[in-house]
Amino acid sequence: MIGFALSEDQVAAQKWAREFAEREIRPVAPHYDETEDFPWPVLSKAADIGLYGMDFYRMIGEDETGILQPLLVEELCWGCAGISLGIFGSGLPLVALIASGTPDQVARDLLKLQQDTGMTYSLLRMRCGGMDPKGLERSMRLFAEEVMPAFKNG
C-alpha cells in the first residue's frame, strides 16, 4: 500500500519553514506589498538559517522523494507569496543563462549582477532530467573550470 504521510524529517522541515514564515515574513509582508521594495533583510535572514544558500539547495538536491522543495515553498508562500518568490525565484534569470550561455557570458553576467546588486553570494540549481551522466559531468566540470575562476578575486 502506498503511504502519503510525511516523514519525521519532512514534518520537521515543514515546521521550520512555517515558523520562519510566521516570525520573519508575515509581519513585514504588508510593508513590502505597499512599498514594492525587494525584501533583502528577509532574504538575508533566510540565508542565515539555511533557507537560502548552498546548504538549502544541497538539502533539496538530496531529497529523493522530491517533496521537500514544494513543501517548503508552500510554507513560505503561506507567509507571503511575493516574498517567497524573492527568496526562491532570485536565481531564475541565471537558469536560462547557464542553460544557453557560454562560460564567458555566464561569468560576465554573474559578475555584473554581483556588482549591480551588491550581492555577495549567489546559488545555482541545475535540473538535469533526461541528461546523460557524462553530459551532466561535462557541464559541471565546464562550469567549475571556466566560470567559477572569475569569482576568485571578486
Q: Cα–Cα distance between 105 and 126 in angstroms, integer?
A: 17
pLDDT (tens, 9 = 90+) of the chain, 154 residues, equals 677 899 999 999 999 999 999 999 999 999 999 998 889 899 889 988 888 765 676 677 677 788 888 899 999 999 999 999 888 776 555 556 666 677 777 777 777 766 765 665 555 555 555 666 777 677 777 777 777 777 665 4
For the chain, domain boundaries: 8-88, 92-151
Domain at 8-88: CATH code? 1.10.540.10
3-state SS class at 137: helix
Has this prediction a pTM greater than 0.75? no
Burial of 52 (0-12, 13-18, 19+ CB in 10 A): buried
C-alpha cell at 58: 544541497
